[in-house]
């Protein structure tokens, strides 16, 4: 309750011996023991009274029924518990462990091969880029004398005068027939 060790009790005893004196010390320890006994008795009686009140109100039955309802056996989870016990028994030396190690090794090989191919591809791209830069530098370094002489553009001739487009001659309207003309006038 108070978590007193041997050294703490010894220190308390020495202080009590000095303060109370050796003559009255046994009587004081007897009284302290009686008070501690009464306190423990009261605590026990209080606990019994609380338990009895809980029994009378039905809390204990409700608690037990609630525990029964939520038990893994009643919920059908006992099979899951059995399956999880098998997981705890797994060892790396089993067949499953060996397969897992093989898969890990294969995955590592695949990753290494993919990394090597990526490095090769990047190196090839860098080589092509360097080659293109070297070729461009050669082209820029060629002397101007080697270039073909350029011809001077011919003098421009004055543009020809544009003639207005001839409009198509209008055709005279067709003559109306006599019967249609008579109807129109009427």
List, for residues 35-65, the tens digit of each pLDDT value: 999 999 999 999 999 888 877 887 778 888 8
- 91 close to 97: Cβ distance less than 8 angstroms: yes
Phi, psi of 111 (to 5 degrees): -65, -40
Q: What is the pTM of this model?
A: 0.30
Place of tokens 């090794």: 105
pLDDT confidence of residue 181: 53
Which helix (H) or strand (E) element contains residue 185? helix 178-185
Which of 48, 50, 47 has the alpha carbon at shortest distance from 59? 50
Q: What is the mean pLDDT of residues 175-183?
A: 55
Q: What is the pLDDT of residue 124?
A: 95
The whole-number pLDDT of residue 132 equals 92
Range 129-138, long-range pairs (CB < 8 A, 24+ positions): none
> Is the CB of residue 80 less than 8 Å from the CB of residue 74?
no
Residue 1 or residue 108, greater confidence: 108
For the chain, state the CA radius of gyration: 57
Residue from 123, 103, 100, 121 nearest 111 by CA: 103
Looking at per-residue pLDDT, the higher value among 121 and 73 belongs to: 121
Q: Which of 9, 12, 2 is nearest to 40 (CA)?
A: 2
What mean pLDDT is predicted for residues 15-43?
Answer: 91
pLDDT in tens, 144-156: 545 555 666 665 6
**Is the predicted pLDDT of residue 118 greater than 70, yes or no?**
yes
User: Which string of b and e fits 80-89 if b means at least 16 CB within 10 Å?
Assistant: eeeeeeeeee
- 177 — pLDDT class (breaks 50, 70, 90): low
């Amino acid at each position: 309750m108070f978590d007193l060790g041997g050294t703490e009790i010894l220190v308390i005893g020495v202080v009590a011996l000095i303060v109370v004196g050796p003559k009255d010390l046994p009587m004081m320890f007897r009284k302290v023991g009686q008070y501690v006994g009464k306190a423990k008795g009261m605590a026990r009686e209080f606990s019994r009274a609380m338990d009895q009140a809980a029994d009378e109100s039905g809390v204990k039955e409700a608690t037990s029924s609630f525990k029964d309802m939520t038990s893994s056996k009643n919920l059908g989870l006992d099979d899951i518990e059995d399956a999880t016990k098998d997981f705890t028994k797994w060892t790396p030396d089993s067949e499953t462990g060996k397969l897992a190690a093989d898969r890990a090794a294969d995955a590592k090989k695949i990753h290494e091969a993919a990394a090597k191919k990526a490095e090769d591809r990047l190196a090839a791209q860098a080589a092509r880029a360097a080659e293109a830069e070297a070729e461009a530098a050669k082209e820029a370094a060629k002397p101007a004398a080697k270039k073909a002489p350029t011809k001077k553009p011919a003098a421009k001739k004055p543009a020809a005068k544009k003639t207005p487009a001839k409009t198509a001659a209008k055709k005279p309207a067709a003559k109306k027939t006599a019967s249609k003309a008579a109807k129109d006038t009427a």
